[in-house]
């Protein structure tokens, strides 16, 4: 009888360990899902603005970083003319262009609406300009489509490049890129380099 009790207890312990493993696995899946939800834009699949700020806050001193802010020109006209479903499709295709024309370690985020941001680590002003020109050209030459609707778009782009040093706040870098973007939006379909921290 004692042998059977030992076997039953061993089986029970194995079952309890198995249940614990399953519960831990489920928790890991749930946590990963919640993390993804918190840091991913649901429409484009790009990182969210929250993730952008998280990565920017992790920048260490003496890190060379460049920032690209992009705004789709006259995007309201697309929504007004073709509807929001076409607008959403354009945003998805635009996100694909950004993904296909940046490097694996660059952080691409949907900033909000039709605005996007790209963080480029260890990238100087000349390198970020080359990457930005490639992105601009890809946007101009792409046939955005949804069903039988085709359209061409352009984007206004502001960029800034700086070495993170003591006293340089991330917000200053963002403000510099935002000012450059604002100047670009006045002209449309152009790239403006922010000079504040060059």
**Which residues are the active-site residues?**
114
Gyration radius from the chain CA atoms: 24
* 162-167: Cβ within 8 A, 24+ apart: 162/64, 162/65, 162/66, 162/197, 162/198, 163/62, 163/63, 163/64, 163/65, 164/59, 164/60, 164/61, 164/62, 164/63, 164/64, 164/65, 165/61, 165/62, 166/61
- What residues form DSSP beta bridges with 159? 68, 193
- What residues form DSSP beta bridges with 158? 69, 192
Report the DSSP pairing between strands 64-72 and 115-121: antiparallel
Report the DSSP pairing between strands 144-146 and 64-72: unpaired
Per DSSP (E only), the strands in the chain are 64-72, 107-112, 115-121, 144-146, 149-151, 155-163, 191-193
Phi, psi of 17 (to 5 degrees): -65, -45
């Amino acid at each position: 009888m004692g042998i059977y009790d030992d076997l039953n207890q061993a089986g029970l312990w194995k079952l309890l360990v198995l249940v614990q493993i399953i519960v831990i696995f489920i928790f890991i899946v749930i946590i990963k899902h919640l993390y993804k939800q918190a840091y991913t834009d649901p429409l484009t699949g790009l990182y969210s603005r929250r993730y952008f700020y998280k990565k920017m806050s992790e920048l260490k001193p003496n890190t060379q970083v460049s920032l690209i802010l992009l705004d789709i020109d006259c995007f309201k006209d697309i929504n007004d003319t073709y509807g929001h479903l076409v607008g959403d499709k354009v945003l998805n295709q635009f996100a694909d262009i950004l993904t296909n024309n940046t490097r694996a370690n660059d952080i691409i985020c949907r900033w909000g609406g039709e605005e996007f941001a790209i963080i480029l680590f260890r990238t100087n002003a000349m390198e970020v300009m080359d990457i930005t020109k490639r992105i601009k050209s890809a946007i101009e030459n792409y046939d955005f489509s949804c069903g039988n609707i085709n359209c061409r778009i352009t984007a206004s782009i502001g960029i800034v490049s700086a070495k993170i040093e003591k006293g340089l706040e991330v917000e200053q870098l963002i403000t510099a890129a935002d000012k450059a973007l604002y100047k670009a939006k006045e002209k449309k379909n152009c790239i403006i380099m922010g000079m504040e921290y060059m």
